[in-house]
Amino acid sequence: MTHRFRTAVLAAAAVALAAPLLTVPAEAASAAQPPRTEFETTHGARWTGLDEEQDFLKAVDRGGDRVSLSTIATTKQGRPMRLLRIGAEHAATTVLLVCSQHGNEPSGREACLTEARDLAYAKDPATRRYLDRTTVLVIPNANPDGHAADTRGNSDGVDINRDHIALKTAEGRAMAAVMRDRQPDVIYDLHEYGATPLYYDKDLFDLWPRNLNTDQRVHDESETLSEQYVRPAARDAGFSIGTYGIWTDPETGDPIKQTAGDGQERILRNAAGVKHSLGLLIESRVDPMTDAEKADESLNNRRRVTSQLDSLQGLFSFTDAHRAKIVTATAAARLAGLRDSGPVYVGGGDNEPATPEQTIQNPPCGYRLDAAQFADVKDELALHGVHALPLGKGAFVPLRQSQRALVTLLLDERAQYHLTAGQPVTAC
């Protein structure tokens, strides 16, 4: 949707460089010319620095009245975590891009910065119509401290993408608050991976929510996003793509084993599904694909970012074409918990049936927390959007609410990542 605009941006920059005698006031220049990232200006030789990122985001914020920039958290080391809103403020469809949760995986961040700029400054009718009907939220740098240190984890060494249940990190808490308050219909999570030739070495891999507590309609639409939109968009651009975590035989393409990509709820793509948002993880390959990329690091870097950008076009096409189905699926999933019926799963996945021990066939009607327990977890419950009722000095957390399955995952001792072991209440 924005490829031609990207080309126009580069052409405009070339014209500007060719006419150095033309003097334009700084304010007018910033309004007329879309900003460019450090990655773009160096043709992939350098990743955009954190200071440059902040200046770039401020320039994007000036892209028009359909853009707003806010700070949703401050990291332990004092760096801002930003949220960009582009498009309609309260549209029926909301898309959230979460970029580079792992600080040593920079291509997603670069893709998000570029895409946010292109959307904010777009003039073509198709993009403007899309933004009139869509709220696009972008967390361009989900791990500023990790990016500064070039580490997977944050400044405490915590993997943020394993913190979407416990919410012990400032970064995880900020994302939970965005999910609670904005209720995105689609969450698209950009990462990178290290290849294992010949079994696991495509340009890209993606994966939808595997957690069995994901509403079937949300799961199916997430899978459609992958198989009918993101993967074709990548292939049309010349990139190979497959299923994240699944090694395949190089001769036949048959799956050999699964090494990642399970259904654990603390990972964002699964947390998205449990919280009734469509989810998709996308991973670009860090390792060079060709001898030319081995010889020229910037060429490898450009492939990593370009593959992410081209895949994003599949996301935008999907949300435009499936708008009604997406909204129906997420709305129905959010209402389903109020019926308070059906099993809750504490293990398994869409490709790995839950065992009897992982299946709570008849969940309690809620969980009682004593005063100490409630004091310890009440903030996390609130960030997750889970409602608790005062009960003496403690609380009662009913299952009959939108986040029904999440209540069990947070408070049942059988759930692997539970916050505390609440007392099951069977008669309400």
Summarised one tens digit per residue, pLDDT across range 282-321 is: 999 999 999 999 999 999 999 999 999 999 999 999 999 9
pLDDT in the model for residue 76? 97
What DSSP string describes 417-428?
A: T-SS-PEEE---
d(CA 224, CA 413): 34
Indicate the domain borders of the chain.
Answer: 3-332, 340-425
**14 Cβ partners below 8 Å, 6+ apart?**
none
Of the candidates 239, 240, 236, 245, the residue with the CA atom closest to the CA atom of residue 269? 245
pLDDT in the model for residue 32? 60
Summarised one tens digit per residue, pLDDT across range 357-380 is: 999 999 999 999 999 999 999 999
Structure tokens at 277: 């948002």
Query: What three-state secondary structure class fits 353?
Result: coil
CB 45 within 8 A of CB 106: no
Give every residue of the chain whose pLDDT is below 50, as ranges.
1-30
Structure tokens at 110: 């670069």
DSSP symbol at 263: -
Place of tokens 């939220």: 137
- Quick one: 3-332 is in which CATH superfamily? Zn peptidases (3.40.630.10)
* Global confidence as pTM: 0.93
Reported residue count of the chain is 428
pLDDT in the model for residue 298? 98
